[in-house]
């Protein structure tokens, strides 16, 4: 399961590609709540399509791509391996990102985090409100499709905000450990908020699962 709060989420995808022969296929994780549980902030139709169609497509395409990669490894076909890298990144990233995203949300979410996470946010961003403003601005500013992230820089011991295009996974492309991801692909909000991304971002703070984000932060500090 990718939804478990662990430090270094990417390692829960396939093992090293050289060991794909014994791998298990990836599967779509269950949501920890009903499709309509996040209403009125995110409606049931969006959640159902987002989870059962979009995330499922990333999972299916990742499995197909890994099978092709396994065949290319067996044949020693380096050209084919290189050609498959974009599909691995896109579909693997989509699976990682969404598996984090679902657990970052909760019908009992919203408000502010507590304890060490809140103190770290105040230390690194000045205040919780300034943090919200910065992550919202980074997410609004994504051109086209992508994600806004709160990540943990393990080397510096600091929280950082980042934006990633498309389905680029945070840790695999920046080295930051993902704590909170906000999906700003239009399929995450268009049916309810049309093309007004700022309204969606204002609403999503009402369902952020700070307990899950805190678990991820505490795991990465160990």
Cis peptide before 40 (omega within 30 of 0): yes
pLDDT of residue 57: 98
pLDDT of residue 82: 97
41 is annotated as contributing to ligand binding: no
205: left (phi over 0), alpha (psi -120 to 50) or beta: alpha
Report how far residue 96's alpha carbon sits from residue 2's, in angstroms, rounded to the nearest whole number. 7
Report how far residue 147's alpha carbon sits from residue 97's, in angstroms, rounded to the nearest whole number. 9
183 is annotated as contributing to ligand binding: yes
98 is annotated as contributing to ligand binding: yes
pLDDT of residue 22: 55
Measured in whole angstroms, the distance separating CA 191 from the mean position of its chain's CA atoms is 21
Report how far residue 207's alpha carbon sits from residue 106's, in angstroms, rounded to the nearest whole number. 5
Q: Which CATH superfamily is domain 44-104 in?
A: Fe,Mn superoxide dismutase (SOD) domain (1.10.287.990)
Domain ranges in the chain? 44-104, 115-220
Q: Which residues, other chains included, contact 124 with Cβ-Cβ below 8 Å and sequence gap of 6+? A: 131, 158, 159, 160
pLDDT of residue 222: 77
Q: Which residues of the chain have pLDDT under 70?
A: 1-23
> Can you tell me whether residue 156 is helix, strand or coil?
coil
95 is annotated as contributing to ligand binding: no
pLDDT of residue 214: 98
pLDDT of residue 4: 40
Residue 109 DSSP symbol: -
pLDDT of residue 23: 66
Q: Which ranges of 8-151 would DSSP assign to H, the alpha helix?
A: 44-49, 56-75, 78-103, 115-125, 128-140
Q: Do domains 44-104 and 115-220 have the same CATH topology?
A: no
pLDDT of residue 16: 39
pLDDT digits (tens, 9 = 90+) for 46-58: 999 999 999 999 9
Report how far residue 120's alpha carbon sits from residue 56's, in angstroms, rounded to the nearest whole number. 35
Class of domain 115-220 (CATH, top level): alpha beta
């Amino acid at each position: 399961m990718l939804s478990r709060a662990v430090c270094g989420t990417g390692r829960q995808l396939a093992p090293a590609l050289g060991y794909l022969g014994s791998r298990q296929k990836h599967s779509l994780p269950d949501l920890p709540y009903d499709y309509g549980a996040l209403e009125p902030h995110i409606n049931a139709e969006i959640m159902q399509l987002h989870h059962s169609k979009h995330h499922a497509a990333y999972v299916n395409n990742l499995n197909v791509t890994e099978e092709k990669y396994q065949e290319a490894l067996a044949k020693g076909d380096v050209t084919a391996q290189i050609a498959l890298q974009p599909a691995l990144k896109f579909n693997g990233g989509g699976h990682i990102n969404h598996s984090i995203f679902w657990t970052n949300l909760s019908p009992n979410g919203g408000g502010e985090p507590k304890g060490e996470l809140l103190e770290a946010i105040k230390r690194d961003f000045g205040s919780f409100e300034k943090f919200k403003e910065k992550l919202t601005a980074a997410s609004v500013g994504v051109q086209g499709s992508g994600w806004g992230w709160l990540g943990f820089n393990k080397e510096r011991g600091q929280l950082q905000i980042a934006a990633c295009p498309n389905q680029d996974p945070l840790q695999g492309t920046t080295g930051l450990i993902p704590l909170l991801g906000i999906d700003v692909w239009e399929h995450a909000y268009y049916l309810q908020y049309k093309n007004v991304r700022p309204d969606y971002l204002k609403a999503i703070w009402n369902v952020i699962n700070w307990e899950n984000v805190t678990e991820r932060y505490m795991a990465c500090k160990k």
